[in-house]
Amino acid sequence: MSPTRTQWTRLIRFVAAETAQVHIGEPVDPKLDVGLAFHQKKPIKAYEIVGSALDPRSQVTTNVLTVKELLAPLSREDVGLVRCLGLNYADHAAEANLAKPAYPVLFYKPVLSLIGPDVPITIPKHVQPVEKHLPDYEVELTVVIGKAAKNVSEADALDYVLAYTAGNDISFRYHQMAVSQWNFSKGYDNTTPIGPCLVAAHAIPDPQKVPLKTTVNGKVLQDGTTADQIFNVRQTIAFLSQGTTLLPGSIIMTGTPKGVGFVKKPPQFLKDGDNVTVWIGNGIGTLVNPVVEERGNEKAKL
């Protein structure tokens, strides 16, 4: 089985100033942190890509476009299904006083939970006040499947990866712990940022050597590495594909390192006006999102 190889190394999805239409493209500056640049309102130029983000045959052109609005690198329709691992870092399981799992702990998110860079994380009225429900952050390396994968071996697992991106698994701890509702507590509308770009699998040959970090209002709260995962990316794909087809575009959020808010004394929780930043290395970059507590009928755009 040959790996999914793309012509592009980094892919962004955006509204172009020139056309007011949605495009995909490769940043002209290969070293630019596009998420940080967009947040800081700095100019971003991209070579237009003709085709789909999920088609490795898509071509990078010489047509340069200007980013007016940076979107999540995949649309909700592209993604289709969001799989997530819980307790996949030993240090995180320990800080939560939970047993290290013998097998991957799987839960799902609805695609309506997904949002892009700089889109507000909306805390629903249902999970307010925040002092009770403890909205929390979780930086996660996120895998994008590139071709249908079923009964995949660990040896071949990375051949099915199209790319990697960053995710922030916003979690509402009261419902997760007291009500024992993992899917519900992590699946509210407009609460799961992904982005700011896709980095092709060929540019990250070893996904177990990727640093990741979370800051809230400028303070570093998580600072880890995927080397500390209990189940590495190969093991995760092999396990999740047993008797189950992982479709192209579907994503896997692979867990978070220690440093989450609800275990701190006193607990730290997200609230209206906070700014949450997750950063992942190896070219993925920075994903910034403000936090708002729902008061009316706020809607977010992916």
pLDDT in tens, 241-287: 999 999 999 999 999 999 999 889 999 999 999 999 999 999 999 99
- The confidence score (pLDDT) of residue 263 equals 87
- The CATH architecture assigned to 76-293 reads Alpha-Beta Complex (3.90)
Residues 6 or more apart in contact with residue 90 via CB below 8 angstroms:
100, 228, 230
- The confidence score (pLDDT) of residue 288 equals 98
142 pLDDT band, cuts 50/70/90, is very high
Neighbouring CB atoms inside 10 A of 148's CB total 13
How many alpha carbons fall within 13 Å on the CB side of residue 202?
11
- The confidence score (pLDDT) of residue 301 equals 47
Domain limits, CATH 3.90.850.10, in the chain: 76-293
Q: Which of the pair, 29 or 179, is modelled with greater confidence?
A: 29
Contact of 175 with 202, CB cutoff 8 Å? no
3-state helix, strand, coil in the chain (%, to 5): 20, 35, 45
As beta bridge partners, residue 115 has: 193
Q: Residue 150 corresponds to which amino acid?
A: K
Q: Which of the pair, 43 or 188, is modelled with greater confidence?
A: 43
DSSP secondary-structure letter at 173?
H
pLDDT (tens digit per residue) in 34-78: 999 999 999 999 999 999 999 999 999 999 999 999 999 999 999
DSSP secondary-structure letter at 130?
H
DSSP secondary-structure letter at 158?
G
Chain mean pLDDT for the chain: 93
**CA gap 65, 126 in Å, rounded:** 41
Residue 154 DSSP SS3: coil
Q: Which of the pair, 65 or 186, is modelled with greater confidence?
A: 65
pLDDT (tens digit per residue) in 82-138: 999 999 999 888 888 888 999 999 999 999 999 999 999 999 998 899 888 889 999
Q: What percent of the chain stands above pLDDT 70?
A: 92
Polymer length in residues for the chain: 302
With a cut of 90, say whether residue 165 has pLDDT above it. yes
Q: Indicate left, alpha or beta for 157 from its phi (over 0: left) and psi (-120 to 50: alpha).
A: alpha
**CA gap 278, 215 in Å, rounded:** 6
Contact of 27 with 34, CB cutoff 8 Å? yes
Residues 6 or more apart in contact with residue 12 via CB below 8 angstroms:
24, 25, 26, 27, 34, 44, 46, 67, 70, 71, 73, 196, 197, 198
Nearest-CA neighbor of 277 among 133, 137, 122? Answer: 137
Contact of 193 with 270, CB cutoff 8 Å? no
pLDDT (tens digit per residue) in 5-37: 899 999 999 999 999 999 999 999 999 999 999
- The confidence score (pLDDT) of residue 8 equals 98
Residues 6 or more apart in contact with residue 182 via CB below 8 angstroms:
86, 107, 176
**One-letter-per-residue 3-state SS of 183-242:** HHHCCCCCCEEEEEEEEEHHHCCCCCCCEEEEEECCEEEEEEEHHHECCCHHHHHHHHCC
